[in-house]
């Protein structure tokens, strides 16, 4: 402030009386802010707020209550991330499309999260759909909210809508399929790279036929609240294929094509193909690349026979099995390795000795070398020896030779 006042006076921008000049230079920053408060209020200027994204504002919002009874072809879209426990780096994602009217579901992997690739995958999925894609409803993710996808929908005459931010229930249909189809098929492992994307694409090709033609589901008709209870009324269970064929807005040509496809499908063969691909996906993430098994050609009759006892294993899907972690080895040199023969000899002579007694004897034999903090290490060593001694008494001596350990200086 003193430099600013002096410079303005020097260039004849300010002419202050000595008394006012002294008061101005003695004012604190908080006092100046309070003195200017009334002037700021008189200007009538509001606090600046960041403007909403113009593109996002141009896309209308559709809630779960706005669907009513849409024709087949209005779908909800979402991405399922296969990042595993960490979302760092690049990983495969699965694009899921779910038809609101029939529940028809299509899935396809994206090797990277990119808007141009998403448009290309959407074009391929439109070729597989048994109906014309009329509407696309997404969340507010930037991979959907962009000029590329909006231009794509405008060109293809697809109604492009979005849900409300942070309200996942607006996309209840596709969110349910994310768990019931995608997560149920592949679990929560991390998939990355071209090989994983290829296997996921192969899995989606088999799963789409099994889910849409052989997996029935309920569909809610009405929901009535009675105090704390909610009474729900459902239609009879039906597959997406049955719902699409029963819809009056479906053409006879589509019905005939669906029936022809349905007649050619073998559900056991589809389930076998799904299991084989799941095995390869699990092996890809759990083992080294060189140890990945090739395709497993299991005959249908053997696979069908294995299903009779699969329930005994709990989760029959390979992707449901927990990842077996390698046992953590020793991270520092063994501090007792030089005196292990002495300790073992003392233990065999007097098995009832405790870890504290053996450590005290060790400290007497080697003064100042083995501190008291090694007590827990010695106790674990005694526990192992006692277990080996008990097994030897019950089942005879073990034939496994002892491990060769390197001798290092005590820490």
165 three-class SS: coil
Report whether pLDDT(297) > 60. no
> What's the average model confidence in pLDDT over 374-400?
80
Among residues 373, 343, 344, the alpha carbon closest in space to that of 361 is found at: 343
> What's the average model confidence in pLDDT over 144-163?
94
pLDDT, position 52: 53
Four-CA torsion 82, 87, 92, 94, nearest 10 degrees: 50
293 Cβ contact list (under 8 Å, min separation 6): 279, 280, 283
- For residue 159, give the H/E element and its range: strand 159-162
Is the four-CA dihedral 312, 318, 323, 326 of positive or negative sign?
A: positive
pLDDT, position 31: 86
Decide if 55 contacts 150 (C-beta within 8 A). Answer: yes
Mean pLDDT lowest for which of 56-65, 297-306, 310-319, 395-404?
395-404
Mean pLDDT lowest for which of 262-271, 286-295, 346-355?
286-295
- The pairs formed by 330-336 with CB atoms below 8 angstroms and a separation of 24 or more are 332/411, 333/406, 333/408, 333/411, 334/405, 334/408, 335/370, 335/374, 335/377, 335/410, 335/411, 336/370, 336/374, 336/377, 336/378, 336/381, 336/410
Enter the DSSP assignment of 180. I
Q: State the Cα–Cα distance between residues 159 and 74, nearest whole angstrom.
A: 8
List domains and CATH numbers for the chain.
Answer: 2-43 (no CATH), 57-220+234-320 (3.30.420.10), 337-395 (no CATH)
pLDDT, position 60: 92
Tens-place pLDDT, residues 235-274: 999 999 999 999 999 999 999 999 999 999 999 999 999 9
pLDDT, position 88: 86
Q: Which residue has the higher pLDDT, 411 or 46?
A: 46
Mean pLDDT taken over the chain: 84
Q: State the Cα–Cα distance between residues 111 and 117, nearest whole angstrom.
A: 9
In our burial notation (b when 16+ CB lie closer than 10 A, e otherwise), range 157-176 reads ebbbbbbeeeeeebbbbbbe
pLDDT, position 40: 74
Q: Count the neighbouring beta carbons within 10 Å of the beta carbon of residue 237.
A: 11
> What's the average model confidence in pLDDT over 365-371?
90
pLDDT, position 185: 92
Classify strands 74-81 and 135-138 as parallel, antiparallel or unpaired.
parallel
pLDDT, position 386: 86
Decide if 235 contacts 221 (C-beta within 8 A). Answer: yes
């Amino acid at each position: 402030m003193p430099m600013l006042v002096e410079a303005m006076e020097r260039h004849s921008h300010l002419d202050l009386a000595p008394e006012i000049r002294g008061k101005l230079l003695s004012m604190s920053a908080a006092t100046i802010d309070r003195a200017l408060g009334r002037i700021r209020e008189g200007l009538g200027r509001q606090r600046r707020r960041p403007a909403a994204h113009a593109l996002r504002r141009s896309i209308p919002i559709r809630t779960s209550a706005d669907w009513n009874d849409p024709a087949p072809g209005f779908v909800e879209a979402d991405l399922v991330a296969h990042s595993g426990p960490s979302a760092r780096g690049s990983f495969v994602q699965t694009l899921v499309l779910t038809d609101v009217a029939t529940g028809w579901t299509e899935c396809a992997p994206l090797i990277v999260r990119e808007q141009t690739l998403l448009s290309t995958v959407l074009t391929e999925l439109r070729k597989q759909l048994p109906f014309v894609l009329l509407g696309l409803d997404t969340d507010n993710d930037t991979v959907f909210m962009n000029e590329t996808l909006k231009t794509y929908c405008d060109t293809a005459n697809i109604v492009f809508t979005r849900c409300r931010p942070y309200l996942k229930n607006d996309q209840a249909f596709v969110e349910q399929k994310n768990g019931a189809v995608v997560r149920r098929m592949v679990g929560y492992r991390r998939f990355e790279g071209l090989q994983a994307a290829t296997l996921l694409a192969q899995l989606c090709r088999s799963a789409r036929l099994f889910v849409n033609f052989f997996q029935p589901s309920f569909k809610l008709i009405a929901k009535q609240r009675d105090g704390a209870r909610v009474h729900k009324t459902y239609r009879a269970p039906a597959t997406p294929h049955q719902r699409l064929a029963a819809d009056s807005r479906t053409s006879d040509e589509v019905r005939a094509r669906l029936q022809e496809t349905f007649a050619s499908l073998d559900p056991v063969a589809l389930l076998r193909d799904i299991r084989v691909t799941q095995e390869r996906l699990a092996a890809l993430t759990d083992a080294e690349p060189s140890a990945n098994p090739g395709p497993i050609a299991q005959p249908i009759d053997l696979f069908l026979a294995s299903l009779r006892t699969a329930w005994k294993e709990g989760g029959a899907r390979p992707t449901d099995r927990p990842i077996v972690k390698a046992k953590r080895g020793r991270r520092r040199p063994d501090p007792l390795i030089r005196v292990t023969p002495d300790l073992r000899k003392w233990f065999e002579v007097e098995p009832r000795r405790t870890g504290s007694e053996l450590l005290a004897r060790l400290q007497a034999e080697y003064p100042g070398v083995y501190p008291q903090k090694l007590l827990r290490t010695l106790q674990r060593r005694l526990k192992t020896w006692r277990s080996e001694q008990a097994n030897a008494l019950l089942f005879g001596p073990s034939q496994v030779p002892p491990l060769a350990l390197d001798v290092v200086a005590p820490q």
